[in-house]
Structure 1
Amino acid sequence: MKLILSRKGFDFAAGGCPSPILPDGRLCSLPIPDSQSRLHYRDLTVNGMNAGDLIADLTRNPDRANETAHLDPDLDPATRSRAKGWRGLLGQDGTAQSHLRNQSVDSGDLFLFFGLFRRVEQVDGCWRFIKSAPARHVIWGWLQVGAVHSIAELAHDALPWAHYHPHFSGERGKQNTLYTASDALMINGTKLPGKNAYGTFGHYKPSLQLTAEESNKPSDWRLPVGLFPTSSATAMTYHQKLERWKKEGKYCRLKAAARGQEFVLDANQYPDVAPWIATLFDLN
């Protein structure tokens, strides 16, 4: 199995601000803007909240609720109305898809989606970022690949339940690809009880945070030491330079790459990956 740490959602470059962590701990990953999409923020529900309302408040621009959104990955059935047969899915194109293809990402591989988050509070009835709360990289969702589809090669009537997805609209590149979720979540051949092959982590918990707690830099990550690259294990893509890594007891620190969407790790070379994933799902 390959593990892909996939950067998705609002940040300062795409969207203009982090996604919010609500006072009750809910993670509300906001999809980035997309002028080619047919989906509007005002029509999307993110973890029980209207996406348009959140964006209007947090960017202090009411007009942004009417913008169109790149709902990708799409992992929560409650985000919008669904056609029969819907399941979680992810689209990718361009350089990022070339990287996934070159790493032979395929059926059975697991995406863990992370994004930039910051805690918010209500001030005079509007959502505002807490000034003292730093931005953090946090894992917010997952998808285990069931099938990989070249959208250009799909028959016109194939996957009709997916045609709302932004990668079916507008001008997309030659690499335009769709990843659809598998039937069950399997780690090392074992089905994780009560877990779908796709979904979102509804609430923040420390195990989901990639950023080191004491750091003010979101890309300063603290990971299990078992993910530290060795002479017999290939480092996670975009992070092959050993100067990015530093051991700290049972953890390691990583200066995560600022560029790149998809960081791929061969989990077969890292025995501690499976226990770490189980921790994320509260199975340890």
Structure 2
Amino acid sequence: MRIILSRKGFDSAAGGCPNPILPDGRLVPLPIPDSLSPIRYQDICHDEHNIGLLVNQLTKGKLTKSDGAHLDPDLVSTHYPRSHHWRPLLGQTGAAQGHLHKQGVSVGDIFLFFGVFQSIHRVFPNRRKHSTGTEKPTKQRQASGRKQWHFDTQQPKRHIIWGWMQVGQILQIDELGESDLPWARYHPHFYRGKDPNNTLYLASNKLNIPGEFPNLPGSGTFQYASKERILTAPDSLLTQWQLPTWWYPDSGKSPLSYHHNPERWKLFKDRVLLKAAARGQEFVLDCDDYPEALPWLAKLVQTELATSNPELSIKKALKE
């Protein structure tokens, strides 16, 4: 089996800003812009938040509510109107899909999605400097009470793992018949035209990890940031990652793809520091060389299940 660290969501190149962390700590991964997609930002919701409003305010109007959104991976049923039989899914093509194919990614392998996140808060627009050096809203804006979302520049940007998906099925879109997968036809990868590399990954229903709990969901999102899923090391540059020691590629182990240069890795007694590649979407780890990898991943999902559903213990989940 393999774990794929998959870079998804807004960044400085795609979208022009980080993904937001709400004031209550919730992570909101934003779909990147896509002019070919039939999905509009205003059509997507994250709990009580309309993504169109968030995107418009956080990009300072560079993107609008009516712009096309590349909702991919698409992991949460309530984020967008669904057809019957909908399943979580991911599309990939181009060089990134070529890399996944070269690495032998297949059914049973697990994507861990990560992106760059930064905290946001609501402030009055058109703030102006006072003699004290602090910024305060104009009286007109303060009276209207129309606060807008802005990034909190006092908070760091960090790479954070925000979702997972185990591959249950792999399909080539160009090989599908017109009546195949009617529930998936909204997905942006159906609007790319002919492309023999255009690939769909459909999620498994349950997370199938040998020796681990059998009834964990095959896909989902992590609602909040946690220490275990923050990749960026404390007080470090965005791409300076801190990982458990077992990630270190000892002699004979195949390193995380795109990270074969030994100078990227530094092993300490209690952690590994990795200078992560700034480019590339898909980083593949062969779990045969790292027996700790799958239990580590299962624990991430188990913890999410327990904390996001306090009334649902792991024991109860096992009985379902």
- Per-residue deviation, 1:192: 4.5
The answer (yes or no) to whether the contact 1:207–1:279 under 8 Å persists in 2 is no
Give, in whole Å, the separation in 1 of the partners of 2:291 and 2:235.
27
**Matching residue of 1:221:** 241
1:179 and 2:201 aligned: yes
1:209 and 2:230 aligned: yes
**Matching residue of 1:116:** 116
| CA 1:236–1:164: 2 relative to 1, 3 Å | same
Q: Equivalences for 1:142-157 in 2 at 5 Å?
A: 142-157=164-179
* Stretches (4+) displaced over 6 A: none
User: Across the two proteins, how many residue pairs are aligned to each other?
Assistant: 282
**Matching residue of 1:251:** 271
- Per-residue deviation, 1:187: 1.8
Counterpart pick for 1:261 among 281, 285, 300:
281
**Matching residue of 2:296:** 276
- Per-residue deviation, 1:172: 5.4
Secondary structure of residue in 1 paired with 2:257: coil
Secondary structure of residue in 1 paired with 2:16: coil
The answer (yes or no) to whether the contact 1:93–1:172 under 8 Å persists in 2 is no
- Per-residue deviation, 1:131: 1.6
The answer (yes or no) to whether the contact 2:122–2:149 under 8 Å persists in 1 is yes
Identical counterparts, % of pairs? 49
Give, in whole Å, the separation in 1 of the partners of 2:37 and 2:60.
23
Q: Structure 1, unaligned stretches of length 5 or more?
A: none
- Per-residue deviation, 1:56: 1.1
**Matching residue of 1:163:** 185
Give, in whole Å, the separation in 2 of the partners of 1:172 and 1:244.
38
- Per-residue deviation, 1:63: 5.4
Give, in whole Å, the separation in 1 of the partners of 2:277 and 2:3.
16
**Matching residue of 1:12:** 12
Give the TM-score, by structure 2 length.
0.85
**Matching residue of 1:91:** 91
| CA 1:252–1:209: 2 relative to 1, 3 Å | same
Give, in whole Å, the separation in 2 of the partners of 1:71 and 1:226.
33
Indicate the RMSD between aligned Cα atoms, in angstroms.
1.5
- Per-residue deviation, 1:114: 0.2
The answer (yes or no) to whether the contact 1:20–1:118 under 8 Å persists in 2 is yes
Q: Deviations over 1:13-55 (max 9, x none)?
A: 0001001000101100000000110000011012442111101
Q: Deviations over 1:127-173 (max 9, x none)?
A: 11112111110001110000000100112111111110000013353
The answer (yes or no) to whether the contact 2:19–2:116 under 8 Å persists in 1 is yes
Give the TM-score, by structure 1 length.
0.95
Give, in whole Å, the separation in 2 of the partners of 1:51 and 1:274.
33
Structure 2 counterpart of 1:70, one-letter code: H
Structure 1 counterpart of 2:258, one-letter code: Y
Give, in whole Å, the separation in 2 of the partners of 1:63 and 1:4.
30
